[in-house]
Structure 1
Amino acid sequence: MKYFLTSLLALTLFISCNSDKETNQEPQKTDYTVENEKEITDYIAKNNLTAKRTDSGLYYVINEPGTGAQPTSTSTVTVAYKGYYSSGKVFDQSTAQGLTFGLNQVIKGWTEGIPYFKVGGSGILLVPSHLGYGPYDYSGIPGGSVLIFDVKLLAVK
């Protein structure tokens, strides 16, 4: 019984000490707009890209516009892609056959950006975090990350 009470006291002190540390920490940053904009524009300049910016903050580059069907934000598409950070580190990649999904089931940057291409088209989407995964870590992608995608639109349904 004495061991139980000692353990309970130690646990209570540990929890209250941890709580104090947590309340003294700086709040997690949630707005990366300024940093993301600079990171994207620096990347564009460094890589000599001709990119267009949308009102939402998405940047896109059309290397090949394509000649086939053009999707809408609710279309089902097949896209071959490579996703990476501005450092060049790849975080995701499809096969050459691509992946098929609804554009209303993916990050906002894709829902907005893929419809700029027609089937057969290819280019780059430069996605600020508010159009990606926001300020939160997601499947190994750090919160606040700019995501860059090389994309090729293979099919629209």
Structure 2
Amino acid sequence: MKKYTLALLLAVAMFAGGCQQTDTTPCTATPVTTKAPASEVATLKQYIDANKITATADDRGFYYTIQSPGTGSKPTICSNVTVNYVGKLTNGSTFDQGNGVSFGLSQLILGWQEGIPLIASGGSITLYLPPSLAYGSAATNGIPANSILVFTIDLTSIN
């Protein structure tokens, strides 16, 4: 009798496990269309020029340099991504970094939402973000208000 009870419990557990509800809700996030104000873009361009940085200007107001484009498909606003990154202030000091960190792209700052989809898995990009596409006018976690931020990001995978 114990064999049948154990077998029945295992069968119920396997059936219940196979029937667990997964989140199949379609992503309703919309791509970012926010543009940085002209004054922020001008200040960022001064930084880029003064430091002789070779970077591409994006119409939304940030600059970027792709070190490696990666291969395969690129993430969308609905993607979950795993990255290695370093965040720096324009004075060169590091305010944040992480390795093997996963995020829902729609949960990140606007500059990441706009910049990370420029590369595919295995790619690497440096983003130069004006305040309105980063943390804006609020000081947070050692980042002064209205800071231009520089992120070096390796997109290790799209999950």
- Please report the TM-score for the alignment, with normalisation by the length of structure 1: 0.72
Residue 88 (structure 1) aligns with: 92
- Ranges in structure 2 where 5+ consecutive residues have no aligned partner: 1-35
Residue 151 (structure 1) aligns with: 153
The reply to whether residue 54 of structure 1 matches residue 67 of structure 2 is no
Residue 12 (structure 2) aligns with: none
1:114-129 matches, within 5 Å, as 114-129=116-131
Residue 70 (structure 2) aligns with: 66
Q: What is the distance in 2 between the residues matched to 1:43 and 1:153?
A: 25
Between the two proteins, what is the percent identity of the paired residues? Answer: 43
Residue 100 (structure 1) aligns with: 102
Q: Which has the larger displacement, 144-153 or 41-50?
A: 41-50
SS at match of 1:153: strand
Q: What is the distance in 2 between the residues matched to 1:112 and 1:32?
A: 16
**Which segments of structure 1 move beyond 4 Å, counting only runs of 4 or more?**
none
Q: Is the 8 A contact 2:77 2:105 kept in 1?
A: yes
Cα deviation, residue 65, structure 1 = 0.6
Q: Which amino acid aligns with 1:43?
A: Y
Q: Is the 8 A contact 1:69 1:118 kept in 2?
A: yes
Cα deviation, residue 141, structure 1 = 1.2
- RMSD (CA atoms): 1.9
SS at match of 1:94: strand
Residue 83 (structure 2) aligns with: 79
Larger helix share, 1 or 2: 1
Q: Which amino acid aligns with 1:129?
A: P
